[in-house]
Structure 1
Amino acid sequence: MLYAITALFALQLLGEAVVHFTHLPLPGALVGTLLLLAALVVHGRTPPALERVGSVLLQNMMLLFIPVIAGVMLEFDNLARQWQPFVLACILGAALTFVATLLSFRWMLRWQAKKVRS
């Protein structure tokens, strides 16, 4: 389990370093996540330790949002004055996430069906 947590932190740190040195217009955490995806694709399966850590993180995901919610509450006066762009960004972000999830799910179903047929 410690191996998996260390791997996640190392990949996030590597993603931050890549963004810092290449000046990519992306968050370092996103680059780290893409590196994790690439490593999992190359490896071909999810290591059991990483699966357990991921499961625990997903079960406690709401705890990870507390700092973000506190930050939004600190900016409540600004949000009260400029609520339209905030609401629009929330709706568009949710819609894009839904579409990306839908397309990923459909791709995974097709990939799984091809794998079963082979």
Structure 2
Amino acid sequence: MLVPAFAIILLFQLAGEVISRALHLPLPGPVLGMVGMVVALTSFPRLSAIVTPAAQGLLRYLSMLFVPVGVGIVANLHTIESHWLAISVSVVVSTLFAIVVGALTFTWVARLTGSRADD
């Protein structure tokens, strides 16, 4: 039962990639595939029952996907040491930018929906 579930997950990723490339969208294909999968899973509960065991298995081992990142950091430590200031500034600025954009978006949506602070 896991093979069909993985096939469904990969088909959604493929569909997102095809749509992204065909329409020259600035959004990555896997993100479009994920949005499509969320819509499909909420629309078809049976599909959710098929995909859930495979998704839980992937999530169980998600931390292993960070191992290549750690190896890449160690392998390029000399580059990181020589550009530490630029990397630090970009991390801090991008984090602050993401927080500000998130807060502004939240405020905009709250005003758009008519929500109050005490809701």
2:95 matches 1:92:
yes
Q: Report deviation, 1:38.
A: 1.4
Question: 1:20-75, CA deviations, whole angstroms, 9 ceiling, x for partnerless residues?
Answer: 11111121111111111111122257622311111111110012223333344444
Q: CA RMSD in A?
A: 2.8
Task: Compute the TM-score of the two structures, normalised by the length of structure 2.
Answer: 0.63
Deviates more, 1:64-73 or 1:48-57: 64-73
Aligned partner of 1:63 in structure 2 is 64
**Alpha-carbon spacing, 1:71–1:19, altered in 2? closer, same or farther (3 Å):** farther
Gaps of 5+ in 1: 104-118
Give the drift of 1:13: 0.7
SS in 2 for 1:65: helix
Q: Which residue of 1 aligns with 2:43?
A: 42
TM-score, normalised to structure 1, is 0.64
Rg: which structure is higher?
Answer: 2
Give 1:83's aligned residue.
Answer: 84
* Structure 2 unpaired stretches of 5+: 107-119
Residue aligning to 1:21: 22
Q: 1:69 to 1:22 in 2, by over 3 A?
A: farther
1:22–1:75 CA distance, 2 compared to 1 (3 A): farther
Task: Using the aligned pairs only, state the percent identity.
Answer: 25
How many residues are matched?
97
Distance in 2 (CA, whole Å) between partners of 1:81 and 1:74 is: 14
